Amino acid sequence: MAPPLAGSSLVLHALRLTGMTGGGRLAGATGLGDAEVRAALDELAAVGHVEHHQGTFGGWAATPLGTQADDAALAAELEATRSQASVEQAYRSFLALNPELLSACTDWQLVVDDAGVHRANDHTDEAYDASVVARLVDIDRRAQPVLTSLTTSLARFEPYRRRLRLALDHVRSGESDWFTGPLFDSYHTVWFELHQDLLHTLGLDRGSEHGERGAS
């Protein structure tokens, strides 16, 4: 049976989760060094699993063949590690927290004015922002045991703990973009990737998430 994801397989999986991106972000997502990531991308490109796109918003992206290869590797990984049940349990725990995280993200981006109208949060109300950050801190506190369980089952989940805590530290220091910013490792961005990772690992799609209020 195949071992847990490592090397080029780990990079391919991370690239599938992050979407089109550069090697630097892949290093952060996998915990691998820059040189290891570059070598893995070259190896993956040689077999048609990834391709590089030029342009301002270009970068590396998984190909359909690469997506198929990743699905096969994930299925083999679950079988080899016998971690199906533990990952499913962690996924259920994640889904219980997901609506709270989504609600906090919405409340971070929008506020209700005195007329009852939603408007963009300009982050001038320190008390309001502090209340939403407190909710995020509490969500993160309850998410950490879920990540510990996942990491015990599959070590490749470990970087999520570091990435979420880093984003939270930035938010707590007053850097508002680190809550929901879409173009870097904000808390919501990393949470979204974790959600996708759980779905791909278990061979599920978002349509299977009955009872979930929305999707991250």
Helices 23-30 & 158-172 angle (0-180, nearest 10):
110
- Reported as a single tens digit per residue, the pLDDT across 33-92 is 999 999 999 999 999 999 999 877 789 999 999 999 999 999 999 999 999 999 999 999
Of 79, 98, 123, the domain-final residue:
79
Q: What is the tally of structural domains in the chain?
A: 2
- 214 domain residue, yes or no: no
For the chain, the C-alpha Rg in angstroms (whole number) is: 18
Residue 183 CB burial class (10 angstroms; 0-12, 13-18, ≥19): exposed
Of 19, 46, 79, the domain-final residue:
79
What is the pLDDT at residue 114?
78
- 38 domain residue, yes or no: yes
What is the pLDDT at residue 24?
85
Instruction: Give the integer Cα–Cα distance in Å for 89 and 87.
Output: 5
| 148, 102: one domain | yes
| 106, 12: one domain | no
- Reported as a single tens digit per residue, the pLDDT across 126-150 is 999 999 999 999 999 999 999 999 9
> 21 pairs with which residues across the strands?
60
Query: Which structural domain range is residue 72 located in?
Result: 7-79
Of 22, 49, 79, the domain-final residue:
79
Contact 167, 186 (CB under 8 A): yes
Instruction: Give the integer Cα–Cα distance in Å for 30 and 5.
Output: 10
Closest C-alpha among 175, 195, 183 to residue 101: 195
Residue 2 — very low, low, confident or very high, per pLDDT cuts 50/70/90?
Answer: very low
| 104, 195: one domain | yes
Instruction: Give the integer Cα–Cα distance in Å for 146 and 22.
Output: 29
| 32, 105: one domain | no
| 149, 74: one domain | no
What is the pLDDT at residue 192?
96
Contact 60, 52 (CB under 8 A): yes
| 64, 95: one domain | no
Strand, helix or coil for residue 49: coil
What is the pLDDT at residue 212?
44
- The single residue listed with the structure tokens 């990743």 is 70
| 89, 137: one domain | yes
Closest C-alpha among 90, 109, 107, 111 to residue 99: 107
- Reported as a single tens digit per residue, the pLDDT across 91-132 is 999 999 999 999 999 999 999 887 888 999 999 999 999 999
Residue 216 — very low, low, confident or very high, per pLDDT cuts 50/70/90?
Answer: low
The pTM assigned to this predicted structure is 0.89
Residue 152 — very low, low, confident or very high, per pLDDT cuts 50/70/90?
Answer: very high
